[in-house]
Amino acid sequence: MASKDLYPEIEPYDTGMLRLDDLHQMYYEQSGNPKGVPVVFLHGGPGAGANATHRRFFDPGFYRIVIFDQRGSGRSRPLGEIRDNTTPLLIQDIEQLRQHLGIDKWTVFGGSWGSTLAIAYAEFHPDRVRALALRGIFLCRKSEIDWFLYGLRELAPEAWRNFAGHIPEAERGDLLDAYHKRLMHPDAAVHMPAARAWSVYEGSCSTLLPSPETVRAFAGDVLALGLSRMEAHYFKHDIFLPENFLLANIGKIRKIPTVIVQGRYDLVCPIRTADELHQAWPEATYQVIPDAGHSAMEPGIRAALVAAMERFKDIA
């Protein structure tokens, strides 16, 4: 399927910086129909930030499209800041933005880490969620983090070799700790090469077929620094929630209309996690894309997400 599955490019009708506390300011934007049904887009990573393409999953004539960069990410300030940066605070930020924009309920759309955050937000605020569109499921459990750090070498040995190769051999027994030390180092000559190595690793494994365009995007300074720092920070602290918290609390959101879209050959967030989520939550619509990896830009995933948002138009 061609890129026509996405809606045409649009510009925001509103942008702003929302002060969250004495340290963080959060970038947000609105596009589409100001009087439409609200939908909020939660980007991945954590730390990847949002971009203009993310507006295009939604019918701009029907939806009021809200996109923001999570604290420490993208256009939010300060970039890569890990102080006062936890999952409960991100959930609080979403609520603060909802209230700031005068929205009662909205559809929540998120992929990869965005799916993690979408589920967490819905479990804390089920009455504020109209529907959930989830892609590339990541529950941020220790087994999934270990897969990202070590397991990926089974299927992407070249990418993993470059990733691990940035770290001296003596420190490779704990890649997370080794990267964390470098990524948090104040000197850009130390943290930027580490950031690019981490981010390019993820970008290299995100598509079913090689995508130099994707790898180039992940190598950019802002994406690389935000993504690598936030991921290392959140992985090191087990996303600041109890182990298996998200699955354990599915009962709170079981009745929310939900679509789960998963690439069969997703290396970054393997399908086993999505399957476990659906086993715990059979009420959700589960769609496996047979010829896709992780990226939301994979043709089959892109088309399925746009179709899900079309179906959600019928929710009362």
* Residues belonging to the active site: 112, 266, 294
Nearest to 147 by CA among 166, 161, 160, 158: 160
**Burial, 92: exposed, middle or buried (Cβ in 10 Å; 0-12, 13-18, 19+)?**
middle
Tokens of 264: 């069969």
| Contact present, 224 and 199 (Cβ < 8 Å) | yes
Residues 6+ apart with CB under 8 A from 26: 17, 18, 19, 20, 68, 69, 70, 71, 76, 93, 97
Cα-based angle 52, 9, 297 (whole degrees, multiple of 5):
60
